[in-house]
Amino acid sequence: MEEKVFKSLDELFLINQQLKGFFKVVKAHFKLNFEEIYILNILNNCQGHEVTAKEIAQQTHLKPYYLTKALQKLKDLGYLNKKRSDFDERTVIVFVNDQEKAKIRHTIEEVKKYFI
């Protein structure tokens, strides 16, 4: 039998409402949605400076359309860069330089200030 995560439906709905409220504030202040913050958090926690889009997809369970859209927006906002693998053109590599890594870290720290 699987472990119960929520004690009741009421608890689940309360947490859902809190999350919606949190991401509404984050979107208004940072102009970033859930998927984009999720990706930034992965990049912030990444040991190196690059990760494949496939690895991000596996961690986030985002559908390809949403992942591609989020990565492009984050690239346009100066959070990351993308390139094709030299070994396999189908592989997209997401990479950040030191300045972008610092920007990501700063944004994540600012988002954390909105925790309840």
- Can you tell me the distance from the alpha carbon of 40 to that of 18, in angstroms, rounded to the nearest whole number? 21
Angle, vertex CA 61, rays to CA 15 and CA 25, nearest 5: 40
Residues contacting residue 114 through CB under 8 Å, at least 6 positions apart = 22, 25, 26, 29
pLDDT of residue 39: 97
Task: Evaluate whether residue 43 is within a structural domain.
Answer: yes
Task: Evaluate whether residue 39 is within a structural domain.
Answer: yes
Task: Evaluate whether residue 22 is within a structural domain.
Answer: no
Task: Evaluate whether residue 90 is within a structural domain.
Answer: yes
pLDDT of residue 91: 94
Nearest CA to 111 among 30, 31, 56, 43? 30
* Successive 10-residue mean pLDDT values, the chain, 116 residues: 82 93 93 96 92 96 95 98 94 96 97 83
Task: Evaluate whether residue 79 is within a structural domain.
Answer: yes
pLDDT of residue 66: 95
